[in-house]
Structure 1
Amino acid sequence: MPITFYDFTPAPSPRRARILLAEKGIEVENKQIDMMQGEQLSDEYKKINPSCTIPALQLEDGTILTDNSGIAAWADAYKPENPILGSTPAEKGLVASWNARIEFEGLMAVAEILRNTSKGMQGRAMTGPLNLEQIPALAERGKKRLPLFYDMLNERLEGRDFIAIDTLSVADITALVCVDFGAWVKITPTDAHTNLNRWHAAMSARPSAKA
């Protein structure tokens, strides 16, 4: 059985996994699940991932991983060269900590804005099988949070090429996707975020960023 990656190319969440798999040099069979047509809610896809979220990765033995954290952990164990989660205990702790912070302070802020303002997401304010109404106050909260997130990353990247440790890690991949996702809601780093913009340009130039 080939390794099968369930993907929807325009979406940020599967993009994180695509970049990671490209950085690790792991080849997969790509199967598109059209979220615009609601294919993630189909009975067929629910057999793959009952949570109706994308990405999902089906391994050679049939095991299915249904989130980016699981896919990253598997990828580093499957192909240990150029570890994406850090090498030493301290590095692993830093990567896990920074990745969690980027997800909470950055990705969540963008999602709060997008999912609670987009006309196309009315009645679908959260991913998953449950239909939920939009909450405008959450969008306003996200709009306040996201610029602070950019400020924080800009400060962290002073004199640094990567966010968590001295080599590329999953935290950089998550942050790249987050900054690009921010453009969807028209909140992007400003000219004053010189460190963040330098880092973003370097990350965007990596071949994996186009995966």
Structure 2
Amino acid sequence: MKLHQGMGPNSYRVRIFLKEKAIDVPMVEVDFAKGEHKAPEFLKLNSLGQIPVLELDDRAIITESVAICRYFEETHPEPPLFGSDAVSRAKVEMWNRRAELVIFATIGNVALHSDAFFKDRLTQFPAFAETERRAVPKKWAWLDRELADGRPFLAGDDFSIADITAGVCGWLGDVFGMEIPASLENVKRWNERVRSRRSWNA
């Protein structure tokens, strides 16, 4: 088994997840600067040319960060990071999707439509990037209101993949100059709680 990964939020999500599970997986670094994600051999693993990619011992391939995390949740159920019963699993799914669709997608659109790294991947619309950039603080303000009930983590009392996703959103925002507004006390406390975990430096 080996994990093909590298720089970027999705690989980071999987590394944090593995650290929380105390799972050691051999890793293969994919260098985007050298175009290794476009190499014929890599495209055999993932035709989209994206990371991370989990290659199992039987040569089975799993792509997409959440799908990879689900595999490890099934094979290493403790500690549960996708919930432990029907209600908690549904809430984790809900909050992970919200983190992806509301915050991750907005920050990602800024990067996709403004950074030169992505200019060959899609037709960039700088005006759209700027619109999305202005929307980012509103997305965090929404989450701040949601966390006003005092719960420690997004889906409730327990840390989950939803916190990993949203935490990496904060990191990605830092990278592209879209820091979480300092006035959002509830998000600030939650973010500090996530970044204080040993897995954060995975």
TM-score (ref. length: structure 1): 0.91
Q: d(CA) in 2 for partners of 1:17 and 1:90? A: 24
Which among 69, 83, 87 is matched to residue 86 of structure 1?
83
Would the aligned equivalents of 1:102 and 1:174 in 2 still touch at CA under 8 Å?
yes
Would the aligned equivalents of 2:14 and 2:65 in 1 still touch at CA under 8 Å?
yes
Q: Any gaps of 5 or more consecutive residues in structure 2?
A: none
Instruction: Say whether 1:54 aligns with 2:51.
Output: yes
Instruction: Say whether 1:116 aligns with 2:113.
Output: yes
Q: How many residues align?
A: 201
**Secondary structure, aligned partner of 2:93:** helix
Task: Please name the residue that 2:137 is paired with.
Answer: 147
Which among 188, 192, 199 is matched to residue 179 of structure 2?
188
Would the aligned equivalents of 1:117 and 1:134 in 2 still touch at CA under 8 Å?
yes
Task: Please name the residue that 2:194 is paired with.
Answer: 203
Q: Cα RMSD (Å) of the superposition? A: 1.3
Would the aligned equivalents of 2:137 and 2:181 in 1 still touch at CA under 8 Å?
no
Task: Please name the residue that 1:4 is paired with.
Answer: 2
Q: d(CA) in 2 for partners of 1:84 and 1:102? A: 15
**Secondary structure, aligned partner of 2:33:** helix
Would the aligned equivalents of 1:105 and 1:145 in 2 still touch at CA under 8 Å?
no
Q: Any gaps of 5 or more consecutive residues in structure 1?
A: 125-131
Would the aligned equivalents of 1:106 and 1:149 in 2 still touch at CA under 8 Å?
yes
Would the aligned equivalents of 2:153 and 2:163 in 1 still touch at CA under 8 Å?
yes
Task: Please name the residue that 2:101 is paired with.
Answer: 104
Which among 18, 27, 34 is matched to residue 24 of structure 2?
27
Q: State the identity as a percent.
A: 31
Q: d(CA) in 2 for partners of 1:41 and 1:87? A: 39
